[in-house]
Structure 1
């Protein structure tokens, strides 16, 4: 049986208990900072490298705009007044053809940093797409 890479178009986002459909999720990246150090009595004429703190990029999620759905804007307003209790965990699952998760990422203690409405164009026929950018405290690949 041949092995093929997974397609990236079949995914699901669990947004604080609600499952939402998005057209695009970007920013699933982790980075390990490097600390360079050379102590004073080192005989080597070079620095040593050690792992430092981890960095996580912001997640950007895009979806179609629906009438009466202002969840992105409501969350952005809530975070301004109650910074501690309105953070959410976001779970992104990459699904196979049987709709089973094959890879799951968990972003913890998220809050919105930017909400963008769709561009408006009088002579266009595209769907209105809105986006939200969220800051995350940690990102892990759940096994």
Structure 2
């Protein structure tokens, strides 16, 4: 399969060869969830980072070699957050407000961390609210941690690209030291 971004792949390859820097995949065990500026707790699981664009097939009369495919609406499944129950009850309170009809949509971010616990990739979700809460299965014969689950309905995901981040950092640096033209 050909590389998606040849200049970026060439730069990464050069950095790897000259500097001995490795670009290993990140582990799924290091992540944080932040909602409206607050880290809402350590989660044992986060799922639902998906986006799907529906399509419509259209068969044109007399054309038998292919079918036209038109893009439709995009949809996002709920984000599912699971963690051990503690006295911190911000998500529970937010869900209780929804039950009482006080819907407050909030934006948030899911950060994937590297081994030094530094955010390296993140996904922003917008206008979310908790629509489902599930408590733990309580069993006297088990020594497992009591886990609760909260599902968030949201209106989309975005992920800043490396190019946008580098351009933004360059603009910040050039502005702070008085350079024109940026990097």
**2:76 equivalent to 1:56:** yes
Superposed CA deviations along residues 49-71 of structure 1, whole A, max 9, x for unmatched, are 1211111111100111113x332
> Relative contact order (alpha carbons < 8 A, sep ≥ 6): 1 or 2 greater?
1
**2:89 equivalent to 1:66:** no
**2:53 equivalent to 1:35:** no
- Which of these residues, 29, 42, 51, is aligned with residue 21 of structure 1? 42
Instruction: Give the Cα separation in 2 of the matches to 1:51 and 1:124.
Output: 49
- What 5-or-longer segments of structure 2 have no aligned partner? 1-19, 162-183
1:112 aligns to what SS in structure 2?
A: strand
CA apart distance, 1:38:
4.2
CA apart distance, 1:36:
1.9
Counting matched residue pairs gives: 138
CA apart distance, 1:3:
4.0
CA apart distance, 1:15:
1.8
Instruction: Give the Cα separation in 1 of the matches to 2:23 and 2:150.
Output: 35
Structure (1 or 2) with the greater strand fraction: 1
Give the equivalent residue in structure 2 for 1:76. 95
Instruction: Give the Cα separation in 1 of the matches to 2:140 and 2:146.
Output: 12
Q: Given the superposition, is the C-alpha separation of residues 70 and 3 from structure 1 closer, same or farther in structure 2, using an over 3 Å criterion?
A: closer
Instruction: Give the Cα separation in 1 of the matches to 2:137 and 2:80.
Output: 17
| TM-score (normalised: structure 2) | 0.69
CA apart distance, 1:72:
2.5
1:111 aligns to what SS in structure 2?
A: strand
| CA RMSD, Structure 1 to Structure 2 (Å) | 1.7
Instruction: Give the Cα separation in 2 of the matches to 1:141 and 1:26.
Output: 16
- What 5-or-longer segments of structure 1 have no aligned partner? none
| Higher Rg | 2
